Amino acid sequence: MAELAVHDLHKKLGQTDVLGGLSFRVGDGEFVSILGPSGSGKSTLFQLIGGLLEPDGGEIRLGEQPIRGRRGMISYMPQRPSLLPWRTVLDNVRLGAEIAGAPDPPDAIDMLDKAGLGGYADAYPHQLSGGMQQRTAFIRSLLSPQDFICLDEPFSALDEFTRAEMQQWLLSLWEENPRSILFVTHNIEEAIYLSDRILILTDKPAQLLSEYHVPFRRPRTPDLILSEEFLDIRRQIARQLTAPHR
Amino acid sequence: MKQALRHSWKPAALIVLLMAVWEAAVRLFDMPAWLLPAPSAVWTELLNDWPSYSGHIGSTITLALGGFLIGSAVGLLAATVLHLVPGFREALYPLMILTQNIPVIVLAPLLVIWFGFGATPKLMIIALVCFFPIAVSVLDGFRQTDDDLMHYMKMAGASRGQIFRKLEWPHALPSVFSGLKIAATYSVMGAVITEWLGAKKGIGVYMTLASSSFRTTNVFVAIFLVMALSLLFFGLIRLIEDRTVIWKTKGRRERNG
């Protein structure tokens, strides 16, 4: 079961209280985004879920298993593609499985084909464009054996056109291979367009400020962004983010 | 190949120019050959004296290669241990730098006293000379591992061993090769110096014999041989590098081209 439950998470880094009792859950097969100002402790949260840091208090569970301080329980896609330059695209997308000690994913070539990277299986990362590198990184996280994927602002380094293209592509791929996803971004539009639910965090020490259910049905298409309903949610969230909340 | 030619014509032209100046100066000032021979005389000697120096080249190559291999192996091993065992790097790195302040030429007589005139002290000296550039550049290579890649590996749950094998080691390969290239040129120099200390054969011996009898032209022949050997070693390693570090060389070529 890939259901993530974070309960009353506390973390201090040096003198700063980064997380001050954060609780939320991500259901099985759900796409949840975390929206918050830069430096609101989102990367600390990922490091806690990834097991790189130990929380000062609170619980993190994946299904029935407590995973605090345990590494390798989730699949991860970082902000920058972070592909190993000496490996071909094919060997890069197999890396997650390799680290986990799982057998080579048999559908690797198939997935690359679907991502429009079929002809690049034997290419090296520096031969790809930024968008292609990021697609490779996402396929790597999909081919990792873990059922839960954390995406850390994966499109923030891309230009506006590539970004829109990537969002559409991510959605179609995810709708075909549903996984539980926790997605961090500070782009409101992106959060609404992609997710089932949006969590908004307060400033440090971060807590859950509010939560939005995104009502749009899937599959979603880009013209959704211009609909009145979409703009309405966007306005609400923007207001919430700019309001002084403490 | 065309590109290599395009890039190398400038240094080649400079060398030709320097040679011409040298040749002209020797003729103009009527230099005696025992003081400074003309490049043309060195060249003629290089061609004619082959029978007398050819026997020396092989033993210098063997010596340099042996010392280089030992020094590189120990250097790589030392860098790996210093990097992987917590605390070793901090404790031993300054000591390593300190030992490099002892000129090898000073150690040489000591090693001869302890180990005699055989191959052992010679190999040790060459290995000592080669050890340092490799150990230092590999250690730096390990330390400069990309932060983003490291973060990904950790988040993906990689163990210490996996991080070393799959990330740090391949990441340090270009540094390994730059250390090897420096060590390779040092090894030839080291071999010649150790041959001065006492050997039956070798370019160093040929050089000592030539200089003690004021056959300066032959000293220059020896210098030329040392340069040629160093370049050969360097080139060989460069060749292996181009085949091994594909991702770097490919990128380099595409950017240049």
Please state the rounded mean pLDDT for residues A103-130: 86
Nearest to A167 by CA among A188, A196, A189, A194: A194
Nearest Cβ partner for A76 among B152, B166, B246:
B152
Give the pLDDT mean for A145-156. 88
Region A105-110: mean pLDDT is 85
B186 near B176, Cβ under 8 Å? no
Show residues of chain A in contact with B157, CB under 8 Å: 51, 71-73, 99-100
Cβ within 8 Å, pair A126-B247? yes
Interface mutation target, options B144, B147, B152, chain A, most CBs of A under 10 Å: B152
Is there a contact between B177 and B244 (Cβ–Cβ < 8 Å)?
Answer: yes
Task: Please answer yes or no on whether B157 and A52 come within 8 Å at the CB atom.
Answer: no
Start-to-end Cα distance in chain A: 37
Compute the 3-state secondary structure of chain B and give helix, strand, coil in percent, each to the nearest 5.
85, 0, 15
- Alpha-carbon span A199 to A36, nearest angstrom: 8
Q: What percent of chain A has pLDDT over 90?
A: 16
Average of per-residue pLDDT values in chain B: 88
Please list every residue in chain B whose beta carbon sits closer than 8 Å to the beta carbon of residue A79: 148
pLDDT of residue B191: 93
Mean pLDDT on B84-99: 87
DSSP H/E element including B60: helix B50-84
Ranking A28-37, A80-89, A122-131, A237-246 by mean pLDDT, the lowest is: A237-246
Q: pLDDT band for B2, please (50, 70, 90 cuts).
A: low
- Residue A59's CB: how many other CB atoms inside 10 A? 14
The two tokens of residue A45 are 């949260």
Rounded mean pLDDT, A22-43? 85
Question: Residue B183's pLDDT is what?
Answer: 94
Are the beta carbons of B151 and A144 separated by less than 8 Å? no
pLDDT at B161: 92
Q: What is the mean pLDDT of chain A?
A: 86
The answer to whether residue A44 neighbours chain B at the CB level (below 8 Å) is: no
pLDDT digits (tens, 9 = 90+) for B110-119: 888 898 888 8
Q: Does A126 touch chain B (CB under 8 A)?
A: yes
- For the cut 70, the answer to whether the pLDDT of residue A123 exceeds it is yes
Phi, then psi, of A181 in degrees rounded to 5: -125, 135
Please list the residue range(s) of chain A that carry CATH number 3.40.50.300.
Answer: 1-74+147-157+176-245
ipTM, two decimals, is 0.88
pLDDT band at A130 (very low <50, low <70, confident <90, very high): confident
pLDDT at B250 over 80: no
Averaged over A230-239, what is the pLDDT?
89
Q: Which residue has the tokens 């975390």?
A: A34
Closest approach of chain B CAs to the CA of A190, in angstroms? 23
Residue A246 has pLDDT above 60, yes or no: no
B-side interface with A, Cβ within 8 Å?
Answer: 146, 148-149, 151-158, 162, 166-167, 170, 173, 245-248, 250-251, 254
Q: Can you read off the two tokens belonging to residue B198?
A: 């006492």
Compute the distance between CA of residue B86 and CA of residue A182 in angstroms, rounded to an integer: 35
| Bigger pLDDT: A86 vs A105 | A86
pLDDT score recorded for residue A205: 84
Alpha helices in chain A (DSSP H): 42-49, 89-93, 95-99, 108-114, 130-143, 160-176, 188-194, 228-242
Partners of residue A151 on adjacent β-strands: A77, A183
Buried b (16+ CB within 10 A) or exposed e, B164-190: bebbbbbbbbbbbbbbbbbbbbbbbbb
- Compute the distance between CA of residue B80 and CA of residue B138 in angstroms, rounded to an integer: 8
- Gap from A173 CA to chain B (nearest CA, Å): 21
Can you give the pLDDT at residue B116? 83
CA distance A19 to chain B (A): 19
Mutate to test the interface with B, among A84, A133, A134 (most CBs of B within 10 A): A84
Distance from the B126 Cα atom to the nearest Cα atom in chain A, whole angstroms: 32
Cross-chain Cβ contact B155/A52 below 8 Å: yes
Query: Among all residues of chain B, which has the CA nearest to that of A74?
Result: B156
Q: What is the pTM of this model?
A: 0.83
CA-based nearest distance B132→chain A, Å: 27
Radius of gyration for chain A, computed over Cα atoms and rounded to the nearest angstrom = 18
Residue among A82, A99, A150 minimizing CB distance to B158: A99
pLDDT grade for A244, boundaries at 50, 70 and 90: low
Q: Is A231 on the interface with B (CB under 8 A)?
A: no
Instruction: Determine the pLDDT at residue A245.
Output: 52
Measured between CA atoms, how close is A144 to chain B, in angstroms? 9
Determine contact: A154 vs chain B, CB below 8 A.
Answer: no
- A144 to chain B: which residues are within 8 Å by CB? 156
For residues A110-121, give the mean pLDDT.
Answer: 85
Q: What is the pLDDT of residue B224?
A: 93
Domains of chain B: 50-245 (1.10.3720.10)
Residue range A154-182: mean pLDDT, rounded: 85
Partners of A17 in the β-ladder: A12
Q: Which chain B residues contact residue A51 at CB under 8 A?
A: 157
Q: Does A124 touch chain B (CB under 8 A)?
A: yes
Tokens coding A91: 């060997």
Quote the pLDDT of residue B95.
87
Q: Which residue has the higher pLDDT, A243 or B35?
A: B35
Percent of chain B scored above 90 by pLDDT?
Answer: 61
Closest residue on chain A to B158 (Cα):
A99
Mutate to test the interface with A, among B151, B166, B167 (most CBs of A within 10 A): B151
Residue A75 contacts B where some CB pair is shorter than 8 Å: yes
Taking residues B98-105, report their average pLDDT: 82
Q: Whole-angstrom Cα distance, residue A175 to residue A215?
A: 16
Beta bridge partners of A152: A184
**How far A196 CA sits from the closest chain B CA (Å)?**
25
How far apart are the C-alpha atoms of A59 and A173, rounded to whole Å? 31
Query: Burial, B148: exposed, middle or buried (Cβ in 10 Å; 0-12, 13-18, 19+)?
Result: middle
CATH number of A1-74+147-157+176-245: 1.20.1560.10, 3.40.50.300, 3.40.640.10, 3.40.50.2300?
Answer: 3.40.50.300
Cβ contacts of residue A202 below 8 Å, gap of 6+?
Answer: A36, A40, A208, A209, A245, A246
Nearest beta carbon to residue A84 from set B149, B155, B254: B149
